[in-house]
Copies of this chain bind each other. A is one copy, B any other.
């Protein structure tokens, strides 16, 4: 067990030494997608960030129970206030499908995209719609504690009365007074005592499909509630880490704290971790700006802002090249640079095989490994880790060029360090050999060279033999002005 991990806690605004509540067990809850559309860059960043954290905690020997939820109900278009139309129900209405068909379709696509990004599956992936009973029980606790009230069949969280005993705003650093003056008028809020009260339960309007019976009305839970209910169910009332994108800090996570304090008298977790957001060519990403790039579009290159396609590993590497708390700006140039960087790293890994060990080392491998660990222990600093690995690539190149020497023991350590950090922790995959097509091109080029060599020497027996052997495996060679070409015939 590594004792040195320090992580930035959004709640305290400090880097703190990581001390799990019940080591070696670690409970981590991360807000997952609302499944009403394809995953985009804004989904990829938290997924890859918390995948890195999950992988590193496991690497340190912790037994991590990692929960990432699926929001398939109750996420309203006006997120802050729990008003507007349910995002999935709206999509279903537009496409004339059962809302659960929409949720299933986009859940499946989300999973496929996460697999492409080599994001590990969380331990449990609970669905909001599957935990209505737990959410109703939580509302009852909040009402009993005096922090929830019923109005017209809906239930709201009473932020003002909560604020008299607790600090609503402590995570995001907001003040209740400011909230009051900034809140817009919206339909439905006349049911509320105060405009910034948020819904715990909403009575279903006529025609609303996704609904359940409750003590207050046939309706559905408020969005903030599901995470409080499901994290408590699978990790307990107080667990180690809660994560998500910075866009969820307020009001979602702030409200989760309020719900847990109201129901259980304690914060839900010890550490809050938030990844920063993504910009596209310096601009905020948004559907109205037409710079909303889905993962599918990135992988296929089919978006007017993209000059070419970028592989899943290029996207993953690009995200990891920035620290998760820094902003990340997507641009074609930045992605092309990431593509090159990833290739350099993988080439370095492959070059390890070309090194012949010597009796003595002129390179320092152990300090390199320690720097890698230090980077990860410093709030999961993946860009510093990657820079250190590039130092390692330079070391490897010098060793291949025989400008430096290395002992067999040091070579083994260098290889295991690269293996651990590139593949196990950064979660990168060498994409090249997967298709095999690059290798096939190389081999055909080799055969064509052999044939050319034979023909130059007027060795037509060999060149005919090559033609016949290739024909046996359905490959045809044809001579053109630009040299020989080949094609598969069957």
Within 8 A of B (CB), among A120-154: 121-127, 129-133, 137
Q: Please pick, from B123, B131, B440, B469, the residue contacting A439 in the complex, using a CB distance under 8 A.
A: B440
A104 contacts chain B at the CB level, 8 A cutoff: yes
Q: What residue in chain B is nearest A473 (Cβ atoms)?
A: B442
CB-CB under 8 A from A490, the residues of chain B are 350-351, 353-354
Contact B469 A461 (CB under 8 A): no
Flag A81-121 by CB within 8 Å of B: 1 or 0 each. Answer: 00000000000000000101100110010010000000001
Contact B469 A449 (CB under 8 A): yes
In the bound complex, residues from chain B placing their C-beta under 8 Å from that of A459 are 459, 462
Q: How far is the CB of A232 from chain B (nearest CB, A)?
A: 13
Q: Which of A239-247, A367-375, A450-458 touches B?
A: A450-458
- Please report whether the interface of chain A is mostly helix, strand, loop or mixed according to DSSP: helix
User: 8 Å CB contacts to B: which residues of A441-484?
Assistant: 442-444, 446-447, 449-450, 453-454, 457, 459, 461-462, 465-466, 469-470, 472-473
Q: Is A213 an interface residue (CB 8 A)?
A: yes
Q: Are A446 and B469 in contact, with the CB atoms below 8 A?
A: yes
Q: Known contacts being A443-B443, A490-B350, is A133 close to B213, with CB within 8 Å?
A: yes
How many angstroms from the CA of A439 to the CA of B475 in the assembled complex? 11
Q: Specify which of B121, B132, B133, B444 is in contact with A104 (CB 8 Å cutoff).
A: B121
Q: Is A489 an interface residue (CB 8 A)?
A: yes
Least Cβ–Cβ distance between A410 and chain B, in angstroms: 19
In chain A, positions 348-395 with a C-beta closer than 8 Å to chain B are 350-351, 353-354
Verify A446–B447 contact, CB threshold 8 A. Answer: yes
Q: Hey, which chain B residues are within 8 Å of A473, CB to CB?
A: 442-443, 446
Contact A450 B465 (CB under 8 A): yes
The distance in angstroms between the C-alpha atoms of A100 and B131, with both chains bound, is: 13
Closest to A463 in B: B450
Question: Complex Cα distance A212/B436, Å?
Answer: 51
* CB-based contact A462/B453 at 8 Å: yes
CA distance A234 to B447 in the complex (A): 58
> Cβ of A108: which chain B residues have Cβ within 8 Å of it?
121
The 10 tightest CB contacts between A and B, nearest first, are A436-B436, A130-B130, A353-B490, A443-B443, A442-B473, A354-B490, A446-B469, A100-B124, A104-B124, A101-B123
